[in-house]
Amino acid sequence: MTSPLSVLEKTFGYDSFRGQQDEIIDHLVGGGDALVLMPTGAGKSLCYQIPALVRSGVGVVISPLIALMQDQVDALEAVGVRAAFLNSTQSQAERARVEQAVVAGELDLLYLAPERLSVASTAALLDRAPLALFAIDEAHCVAQWGHDFRPDYLSLSMLHERWPDVPRIALTATATRATHAEITQRLRLDGARHFVSSFDRPDIQYRIVPKTQPMTQLLELLRTEHPGDAGIVYCLSRASVERTAAELRSHGIPALAYHAGLPAEERVASQARFLREDGIVMVATIAFGMGIDKPDVRFVAHLDLPKSVEGYYQETGRAGRDGLPATAWLAYGLQDVVQQRQLIDRSEGDAAFKRRASAHLDAMLALCETIECRRVQLLGYFGQESTACGNCDTCLTPPESWDGTVAAQKLLST
């Protein structure tokens, strides 16, 4: 049997495993179930790709990222791995070709959109093929209170019922205990071993500044610290995405707009440009970014307040995946708080939903208003203890006596 290390070297061209990769891979190769919590960019994919190559049969990867499946398959094929995907973007003929390859045992990895599994013919197809493992990527999509909930993920509990002997690995970069518990329960992963990495991203400098003139502040950041760099600017609304992108372009910055209201072809084209060209600034709603593997994103800027610390952590985590210095910059204004509270009040959700949304917002506010190290606060939210980092705004320039909390209380009580 080929060893995981030789697959890492010969197929992927790397010389050593990172973090817990080797332990996770050994556990899976031995037939165990695993829940893997690792920050973005840490290398979750190899944790299921290598066991799929070492074990016999095809490794089935469930992923919500339909737009990225082609890229993922191309990248695997380029290193000689036999990979394919099944999703709704394919023609009947393409699908039939992939299905034949599965049955003939000609695939190492098969990427599936979650809704494919509810199609009876797909389940029947998997019954006819030897299976190496199931990998459930972006597993936090099963969490109903999370920011990326996908109803189709709920049906993934059937994997265990229908194929009890096939090892499963669920992977996510979302770190809260509540989400772990929900993934474990909904995916029936009670017997799984948990692998939890440090969530610190020392390469990222966290900075949260008072919002005064956001456009001017953003331009200043790009001009002085990130000229020519690739980055992502997050805005709350589609309108402000388009406005901001146009404004940046008028200042000679190659900015693209991305939000769910744009035609699919335009979104695919923008994403491809962002990945392949240098120095593109993507201005986007949170619809953009999950699963994007671009190593040299040098900054993530938030012009509006994220709804939760989880969201903030995921979004900022897209910066500096190459391990080089990167900036996470957020402009925070009291007006945002008022607006977010209104959005929650007016939402369709029931009382429990509103309570949760409010608690998430409060945690985000606590991060904005802390005068302690941002990183300590951020990691503390995920249950990880740390000491002052020396590389965030509050460490670098300790706040003076101005107290945002007092200002916030004044504004909110009027």
Distance, CA of 44 to CA of 369 (rounded, Å): 33
Residue with the two structure tokens 């493992």: 133
Given a contact cutoff of 8 angstroms between Cβ atoms, the answer to whether 315 and 289 are in contact is yes
Rounded alpha-carbon distances, angstroms, from residue 236 to 221, 256, 312, 318: 19, 16, 12, 17
- Alpha-carbon dihedral angle through residues 296, 298, 302, 308, given to the nearest 10 degrees: 60
Say which entry of Zn ion, ligand ADP, Mg ion, none residue 62 contacts (CB below 5 to 8 A, set by partner kind). Answer: none
Using the rule CB under 5 A, give the single segment among 119-127, 209-217, 219-227, 371-379 that binds Zn ion.
371-379
Q: Which of residues 2, 14, 194, 261 is near ligand ADP by CB under 6 A?
A: 14
Closest approach of Cβ 244 to ligand ADP, in Å? 26
Closest approach of Cβ 293 to Mg ion, in Å? 7
Amino acid at 81: V
57 near ligand ADP (CB under 6 A): no
The beta strand positions in 285-335, using DSSP E, are 297-302, 326-332
DSSP state of 108: S
Distance, CA of 20 to CA of 38 (rounded, Å): 9
Q: How many residues bind Zn ion (CB under 5 A)?
A: 5
Residues 355 to 384 in contact with ligand ADP, rule: CB under 6 A: none
Q: How many residues bind ligand ADP (CB under 6 A)?
A: 13
Given a contact cutoff of 8 angstroms between Cβ atoms, the answer to whether 320 and 204 are in contact is yes
The smaller minimum CB distance to ligand ADP, of residues 102 and 232, is found at 232
How many other CB atoms are there within 10 angstroms of residue 179's CB atom?
20
Q: Which of residues 7, 25, 29, 46 is near ligand ADP by CB under 6 A?
A: 46
Helix (H), strand (E) at residue 170: strand 168-172
Beta bridge partners of 210: 332
395 near Zn ion (CB under 5 A): yes
Closest approach of Cβ 210 to Zn ion, in Å? 18
Rounded alpha-carbon distances, angstroms, from residue 304 to 163, 280, 287: 45, 20, 14
371 near Zn ion (CB under 5 A): no
Q: Which of residues 195, 370, 375, 377 is near Zn ion by CB under 5 A?
A: 375
314 near ligand ADP (CB under 6 A): no
373 near Zn ion (CB under 5 A): yes
Q: Which of residues 27, 44, 186, 201 is near ligand ADP by CB under 6 A?
A: 44
Q: Is 359 helix (H, G, I), strand (E, B) or coil?
A: helix
Provide the mask over 41-60, with x wherever binding to Mg ion is found by CB under 5 A and - wherever it is not: ---x----------------
42 near ligand ADP (CB under 6 A): yes
The smaller minimum CB distance to ligand ADP, of residues 170 and 368, is found at 170
DSSP state of 142: G
Closest-CB residue for ligand ADP? Answer: 43
Amino acid at 118: S
Q: Characterise 188 by phi-psi region: left (phi > 0), alpha (psi -120 to 50), beta (else).
A: left
61 near ligand ADP (CB under 6 A): no
Using the rule CB under 5 A, give the single segment among 13-21, 219-227, 317-325, 386-394 that binds Zn ion.
386-394
Say which entry of Mg ion, ligand ADP, Zn ion, none residue 14 contacts (CB below 5 to 8 A, set by partner kind). Answer: ligand ADP
Give the binding site for Mg ion (CB under 5 A). Answer: 44
Give the binding site for Zn ion (CB under 5 A). Answer: 373, 375, 389, 392, 395
